[in-house]
Structure 1
């Protein structure tokens, strides 16, 4: 606001001009071109790292976004807009997609068995779960828009429909979701494609756009300025290549549990779980090992010359078996002869149910998983390490440069890590010796439990690296379930009981302090220790600034958030904006 008095201009009041992410980049580029600001000022002051990933996603057309009223709101689990027909099972999502239909997968929550349907969908909508639920993590990793924890939605899986606020959406009805702000619309809305995504994929017209020119120019400046390296969380060769195209400098977390999906693998995993003697268990490992090796060959090749941190199997075994309730009902119906099953089939299902009963835990998150699983079934981790070492040795023989790092998860005592290294390092040494190659393979752990953080000095004596698993570290520090926090998070934020969602931004006074203790004590005990973060916080700009401040060596995040982390890392070094407010 201004006035002119006696020929003199007076500025009465100013406000920060709100700009879209697109406008930020284009305006900054134009100002640099016109000589009004330099490149460093543009990167430090004019660009918002937290809004960058929006530029890589389709969005709902602006006029429709303003005019339409959402029927529900959940958590913005994975950014971008998606439009498709509602389906209520992963199998249906896969089948409809194969026929050319665009679908939105609607579930209460997802599990590893749903993966094939999730990656076939345009978007994912769940009525339960949080921003670090299975649905959210898979969606971000695959670049699929997702809204999770939309609790006002009632899903009738048998009838294949959902209801919310008097609106009913049946299978085949149109849905639109916006994973950037968590809104859900019971209709088909038009979207606008991403110019940056098209440019990354090599589309020539998109690469001639001003936005792409701005992106290339400013990201080069950011990469020169930053201290932190940026890796990606990637589980497949395709994800690894995608991450590298977006500027990733390695893989900070490769989750091997995703490699146990698929019919052949699932059958072998089930055989391993059900085996009641070492011979039967080994038969399962013999099936899984060559399949795992092929996975690692593809990932190491895609990341040639860059580090790849492979996390050995972490989830509890029951996650690879049928749901207890569903299996119990199936057996009960067969025994009551409501459903006809052959005698042999019924006996097999009863045997399976007995094993599911045996493996059930009151709190599986704190049960038989991670390093405890490796101790309980030593053949499992040995098989995985053989596959890793064998794949790396084969590529080394071909003149490639694989750089594997083996992560043992959920360690809480120094003795756990020490004993696992004593068991697993000879496996690596034997394979490398037989292959006649010289290859450096590191062993480390994920710091994801409070005890591990405060005892980091002891653990560091047996580790080459630490990687902070801030998803689980936040859960165990707060006593919050990341899958259920959506039910009260809004109220907590409204009443200022939490400054922010601790699963989106690192809680510096609590979780951050645990990390700082681990960094200082770990490095004091082991001067060669390198440290990173592989929780989803690695792609959150505020958390990246904190990671830079406490001296981590790298952050790791979803491939699609790598550019965000690159920009945020640069701004962490460059400091606060001085000529404008981001």
Structure 2
């Protein structure tokens, strides 16, 4: 499914660094230190490897232009990692040896490289190499992308046959996380039966939109915000039309705006430096004033803990005009695609709900806009309004929230973060130690323990027993079944008690992890949703889960669940009015 290095060639290179394998595959290209440079390289026909301390949403245009990403910080669910898997690109994150200097140089210990130098990264092992290693492309991906005909690839025919067998056994639906039509087309090519998560905020980072989004954020009055949102409406509607067309009647779950607004604005510290330089160089006073106004607004939006601040449904409740515009775009797009004779199944998802009253307030607004839109287009069709379960409080009070929701989708990235109290962008600093503690001396923490004598060669300590690992696996990669899984089980039980027809899915990165899929099958979820390039893995893992359950003498599903059946795709209920 992924490109690999020529094995003979890779063996002749020594790694200059090693990080976390966060996006599978192999990539080789030239170093680009900024997103704009990556775009420039692509326009010249070069393959770019985007090298950053860490990536952020405003890097998206450069990430799209690159063949792979290398970051000094972050873990397997960091921004770079999630985007890489979404785009099907290679990523190595959290490379501790990497130092991206302000002088434009990239250092790996004693090895120094500069922008434009060749670099190769292995997303399977986390290895980083100076120089370019030949890459062998995947025939299967070439067929899915339309670059190769199915009959021209024997490997693809074997692949298709295997997954056809898997689909005969699995009872768990498989969807994809897709933000743009191109990703949706790839997802369908891999067999996804719908979109389980469309992150609408990713649509706003395109060059023709981010400036409008910034003006909307900087607006001082609701009228000014609505004026800018009106400019975004046709752009967002166009994206949704593309998603509906690609899915051809399969459900499309669209999440309302989730991240804090500051992510769409320049970084505060960088802007302060820019203003200082402008003043030092005696730049145009008017330009300096505009930058100072921008800085003042960024200061107003600054939060000490933005991921738990003004974001998700809190944003939609305090600025309802944002929700109104997005729902209008969702519904107008659906109406227009239906006129083309294509069935549409919109599912509108409210993020970061922790209170039933939050869900109720947003649902009522969604229904109001949806009814008005269908009245204007003189049509009616079913749609769903649901929520992400990504806060412990939401899981604990799931019965109350279920009375206002048609479906739950477990956002296990944030649910893991809020349950453990681990930052998914920083946890890699200690989770590797937690998972490999048994290899270390408890006194000096070295890996110099002689396994026969149980004596540390570094400090001489004689161990009476092998230290136990604190974690068996990275909870952001493989679902924590005891803690996070316990909250999911509680939410399912309470949710289905309040609403027996409640639809359940998962849209975090765990939706593509085989061990997590087995657990989700046992919980009784209706579907899992993962990055497009992980859809085949999810289909196979879902079949293995069903076979394993049958072999263990189960009926295929837990007694508290509805009877086993083929996964639903385009059959849905009408939202309660």
Q: TM-score, normalised by structure 2?
A: 0.88
- Provide the C-alpha distance between the structure 2 equivalents of 1:462 and 1:86, rounded to a whole number of angstroms: 50
1:427-462 Cα shifts (integer Å, max 9, x gaps): 101111221112111100000011101111110000
Q: CA deviation at 1:205?
A: 7.1
- Provide the C-alpha distance between the structure 1 equivalents of 2:225 and 2:431, rounded to a whole number of angstroms: 44
- Provide the C-alpha distance between the structure 2 equivalents of 1:267 and 1:360, rounded to a whole number of angstroms: 19
1:561 and 2:505 correspond:
no
Q: CA deviation at 1:344?
A: 1.7
1:520 to 475, 479, 493: 493
1:114-146 Cα shifts (integer Å, max 9, x gaps): 111111111110000111111111111111101
Q: Secondary structure at the match of 2:394?
A: helix
1:355 and 2:297 correspond:
yes
1:450 to 372, 378, 392: 392
Q: Match for residue 452 of structure 2? A: none
Q: Is the 8 A contact 1:81 1:179 kept in 2?
A: yes
1:59 and 2:1 correspond:
no
1:326 and 2:299 correspond:
no
Q: CA deviation at 1:399?
A: 1.8
1:169 and 2:113 correspond:
yes
- Provide the C-alpha distance between the structure 2 equivalents of 1:153 and 1:180, rounded to a whole number of angstroms: 18
Q: How many residues align?
A: 520
Q: Match for residue 253 of structure 2? A: 309
- Provide the C-alpha distance between the structure 2 equivalents of 1:264 and 1:222, rounded to a whole number of angstroms: 42
RMSD: 1.5
Q: CA deviation at 1:466?
A: 0.4
Q: Match for residue 511 of structure 2? A: 538
- Provide the C-alpha distance between the structure 1 equivalents of 2:337 and 2:157, rounded to a whole number of angstroms: 37
1:507-549 Cα shifts (integer Å, max 9, x gaps): 0010011011111111110111100000010000000000000
1:147-183 Cα shifts (integer Å, max 9, x gaps): 0110111111x32221113111111211100011111
Go from structure 1 to structure 2 and tell me whether the alpha carbon gap of 1:577 and 1:415 turns closer, same or farther (over 3 Å shift): closer
Q: Is the 8 A contact 1:454 1:514 kept in 2?
A: yes
2:182 to 215, 235, 238: 238
Q: Match for residue 565 of structure 2? A: none
1:221-280 Cα shifts (integer Å, max 9, x gaps): 100100011000000011111100110000000000011113331122112111111221
Q: Structure 2 stretches of 5 or more lacking a match? A: 438-468, 552-577
Go from structure 1 to structure 2 and tell me whether the alpha carbon gap of 1:204 and 1:322 turns closer, same or farther (over 3 Å shift): closer
Q: How does 1:239-388 map to 2 (within 5 A)?
A: 239-334=183-278, 337-388=279-330
Q: CA deviation at 1:206?
A: 6.5
Q: Is the 8 A contact 1:240 1:251 kept in 2?
A: yes
- Provide the C-alpha distance between the structure 1 equivalents of 2:353 and 2:153, rounded to a whole number of angstroms: 49
Q: Match for residue 8 of structure 1? A: none
- Provide the C-alpha distance between the structure 2 equivalents of 1:553 and 1:235, rounded to a whole number of angstroms: 21
1:159 and 2:103 correspond:
yes
- Provide the C-alpha distance between the structure 2 equivalents of 1:199 and 1:431, rounded to a whole number of angstroms: 39
- Provide the C-alpha distance between the structure 1 equivalents of 2:244 and 2:334, rounded to a whole number of angstroms: 7
1:401 to 343, 363, 366: 343
Q: Secondary structure at the match of 1:473?
A: helix
- Provide the C-alpha distance between the structure 1 equivalents of 2:13 and 2:25, rounded to a whole number of angstroms: 17
